[in-house]
Amino acid sequence: MENGFDVVVVDNLSNSKKEVLNRIGNITGKLPEFERIDLCDAAALHNFFLSPKAAGIQAVIHFAAFKNVGESVKNPLKYYQNNLFSLINLLSEMKNNNIDKLVFSSSCSVYGNPSKIPVTENAPLQPAQSPYGNTKKMSEEIIRDFALSESLKTISLRYFNPIGAHPSCHIGEFPSEFMDNIVPALTKAARHAGTRHASSLLCVYGNDYNTPDGTCIRDYIDITDLSRAHLTALNRLASGEIKNTAPFEVYNLGTGKGVSVLEIIHAFERVTGQKINYKIVERRRGDVEAVYADPSLANKVLGWKVKKNLDKMIRTAWAWEKAMETQRIKSI
């Protein structure tokens, strides 16, 4: 929106809140259009594309998916049904309405437990470690096949681990459902430190991995760096740089630096001055041992590079958590 795009948000609000639209308005000066639809409802999605709100849509960024790794292990059908059916319905409507540009929200989980790190886009895709990861892998295959048959121009952005918040503290990570991603868990543990609140204790899932300190290694990327990559991808699609010979492109979005779970805990303590109460528990099914990006392709072809280091990401995440607590107290 800040770069001149007209935006229509389509969301079923299963893991978000409509008030976020007002927060976006506070940042950009105007509200995006909004339609509450479950993409798995093919009829509702079809009717949306016939509505005035959908008139003139030229490109789609597809974010809608369930993304809790642990939950996907416990309830795989929920993930296969939602993440795949929503994509298939969307592609069908894009075809019906002659919309030929798609940016897809993918994941480093498609690499499984990679045989070599840092991971490049040419790395062989290992078996997915979770149903969530498998849905991203299968989604890319569906999009690739569809793109070849329908002249669809697509870019799949393989996120590593997005963290942080918008520097304004108007928008950040605030899921409606329980999520056990490390940074939200960290900020909640810090906020509830010294209480009996369930979130005051941070669980570290395993310390017996083949890594320097025994905990899993990830590549953390700031959400604002990630959002810039989507803008770059949209502009690349609009420019026509993707030829028919390569209708499906993939790019890693990461910093290229691996950080262990214990390292990010200690970094959080150092940056915020907050002591984290944590304990080591059993490994969590679906977790990959170590993965971090080789982002050189995105650097070269998209001209995109990260701007924020881990300390800055932690600061915005902690500022967001404190802002949410202040607003919660005011509303009581």
- Catalytic annotation, residues: 132
Ordered alpha helix ranges (H), the chain: 20-28, 42-50, 69-74, 76-96, 131-150, 182-191, 223-239, 261-272, 296-297, 310-331
Q: Would you tell me the crossing angle of helices 261-272 and 182-191 to the nearest 10 degrees?
A: 40
Instruction: Cis check for the bond before 118: say yes or no (omega within 30 of 0).
Output: yes
Q: Coil, helix or strand for 280? A: strand
Residue that the structure tokens 């590593």 belong to: 160
Please tell me the distance from the alpha carbon of residue 249 to that of residue 230, in angstroms, as a whole number.
13
- Length of the chain in residues, anyone? 332
The CA–CA distances, whole Å, from 49 to 19, 86, 308 equal 24, 14, 38
Residue 269 amino acid letter: E
Backbone angles phi, psi at 253, to 5 degrees: -120, 100
Please tell me the distance from the alpha carbon of residue 264 to that of residue 48, in angstroms, as a whole number.
43
Q: Would you tell me the crossing angle of helices 131-150 and 76-96 to the nearest 10 degrees?
A: 20
Structural contact between residues 8 and 57, judged by C-beta atoms closer than 8 angstroms: yes
The CA–CA distances, whole Å, from 244 to 57, 98, 167 equal 21, 16, 39
Please tell me the distance from the alpha carbon of residue 162 to that of residue 7, in angstroms, as a whole number.
22
Please tell me the distance from the alpha carbon of residue 149 to that of residue 144, in angstroms, as a whole number.
9
